[in-house]
Amino acid sequence: MALTDFIKQELNRPDLTPKLWTAWREGYGFADFKADFIAGLTVAIVALPLSMAIAIASNASPAVGLKTAFVAGFWISVLGGSRHQIGGPTAAFAIVVANIIGQFGMDGLILATLMAGLILMAAAIFRLGAFLKYVPHPVVIGFTSGIAVTIFITQIGAFFGLKIAGNPTEVIERLHAYWAALASISAPTVAVSLFSLFIIVVFRRLRPHWPYFLIAVVATSIAALLLHLPIETVGHKFGEVKTTIPDILFPTITLARLHALLPSALTIAFLAGIESLLSAVVADGMTGNRHRSNAELLSQGFANIMSAITGGLPATGAIARTATNIRAGAKTPMAGILHATLLLLMLLVAGKLTAYIPLATLAAILMVVAWNMAEIDRVIRLFRFSATSDRLILVVTFALTVFADLTVAVEVGIVLSAIMFMHHMSEAAEIEETTSDNLGNLRESLPKGVEAFQIRGPLFFGAAGTFVDAIERIDTPPTHFILNMEEVPFIDAAGIAALLDVVGRLRKSKTTLIITGLRPNARKQLAKVRATTSQLSGVRYATSDAGALDLL
């Protein structure tokens, strides 16, 4: 079989079918378009200031961020495997991109992004989408929080208007530079920064559905212009923003450059894959739909290729923008296409006005984004009820992300997770195995409307997704759900997250969950969860399956 025939055959697979095509086949009417247009406009308004702020954090011009938002956002919606995914530049890439630009220049970033796109498309064709779920939960939280802290630190200079000598890239060097430049703090800049934060916090609390980032940008730009404040703006640092259709660019390609940029390309591909699939899972949880992992990776790959050859940044599915899209009433991927189209129109019509935006405002926006990205609640929850090994993995991954390198952090985190998992498995092997056939006997005597499910083995990051999938395959929600956990020796952070997800789904369907046969270790883990959250309220417990029947 020729290579072209193989590619055509693979691209026709059901798991690579875009959700846009599925939505069109189901029927698409004016009511759907109206809902998608409103959602697309809402997300475009949110994405406009975010894209510029993320570009600046990446050491690129705001125009590059806007270009990425509409080029990559368009193709992610056209080819994606999620019905509501919104793509574009995200804060997770900012530090990685800044380092690549600092070391290899913009041409190097374009080539690395192009390579990452090809890697993602290959991953989709070879059905590797499902394997990304094996990245351990503490590793994901660790590097995400680490990126958030790094972004926050990089914006301190712009927030206070510090005049920093040189361009320090390492966190420690940057903190030293801030300390040395303390005398250069600009009062007008600090005032604009605090005013921006005030607007964002107040509107977020009182009018959460309003575009508070855009309101902050407009208000501070007008105030700075009318009051003639001596502060740095986008125009001062980057000049006039181009308001034209992007040109096609091709990077310089040599074997030496490919070799030098391969680690960066792998990092971009990994981040794009992880964040896009996490965003798709969040969208599934909000809507009840199911995304196609491999189709999503294919769209991410193609979108990054298109972003690269038009001089854009790496892109992926954006969790916050996707959630906004769903809350705004989006029905199909057309909302994402309209979001990208409207962003382009905004750039063409009002792009020159972006020159008046204060850099302090964009710094304040990025600090808020970093705070949200850190997900302090999840970190605290993991520290409270997870095993010591999970805490260690999170801390190591976090520290390496902030003080060393993201690629090293993820590699070490995954290896450490594997070692810890093997340690837990060796401990579990010492526990006496049960040979009870209770579940088989129980099934024969189950009343109508009662379902039973048994987990065998540890509920860890590799089995968490399978557990949730098995629950979702139940067609009719039962009145009672018996979960036999007598053969579960250990539950890690991802397993607890999956269990809480299932509890939430069952609660929505008004199904009572009864957990039976908890072993001491698992019982101790769930006791910690119950002590720190109310998410397990309503769950009932029994020592055996027979005891569960008595609770019906």
For the beta carbon of residue 430, count every other beta carbon within 10 angstroms.
Answer: 7
Shortest CA distance to 65 belongs to which of 203, 211, 217, 242? 242
Sequence-distant (≥ 6) Cβ neighbours of residue 259 within 8 angstroms:
none
The string of pLDDT tens digits covering residues 145-179 is 988 898 899 899 999 999 987 777 788 888 999 99
Distance CA 90, CA 65 (A): 9
pLDDT higher than threshold 60 for residue 428: no
User: Taking the CA of residue 319 as centre, how many other CA atoms within 13 Å lie in the half-sphere pointing to its CB?
Assistant: 17
**CA geometry: angle at 423 spanning 422 and 424, to 5°?**
90
pLDDT at 445: 65
All structural domains of the chain with their residue ranges: 30-370, 377-428, 438-550
Distance CA 164, CA 532 (A): 44
Pick the CATH number of 438-550 from 3.40.50.720, 3.90.1150.10, 3.30.365.10, 3.30.750.24: 3.30.750.24
Lowest mean pLDDT among 337-341, 454-458, 524-528: 454-458
The string of pLDDT tens digits covering residues 279-324 is 888 888 888 888 888 999 999 999 999 999 999 999 999 888 998 8
Distance CA 369, CA 306 (A): 26
Lowest mean pLDDT among 223-237, 431-445, 483-497: 431-445
Residue count of the chain, please give it: 552
- Cβ contact 102:377 at 8 Å: no
The string of pLDDT tens digits covering residues 21-39 is 988 888 888 999 999 999 9
- Cβ contact 272:116 at 8 Å: yes
Q: Which residue has the tokens 């794009």?
A: 272
Mean pLDDT of 240-252: 72
Across-strand partners of 456? 487
Shortest CA distance to 500 belongs to which of 449, 442, 459? 459
Handedness of CA 94, 96, 100, 103 (dihedral sign): positive
pLDDT at 226: 93
Work out the percent of the chain whose per-residue pLDDT is above 70: 91
Structure tokens at 370: 């970093």
pLDDT at 331: 92
- Cβ contact 77:20 at 8 Å: yes
pLDDT confidence band for 12 (50 / 70 / 90): low
Handedness of CA 390, 391, 394, 396 (dihedral sign): negative
pLDDT confidence band for 431 (50 / 70 / 90): very low
The string of pLDDT tens digits covering residues 39-63 is 999 999 989 999 999 998 898 888 8
Q: For the whole model, what pTM was predicted?
A: 0.76
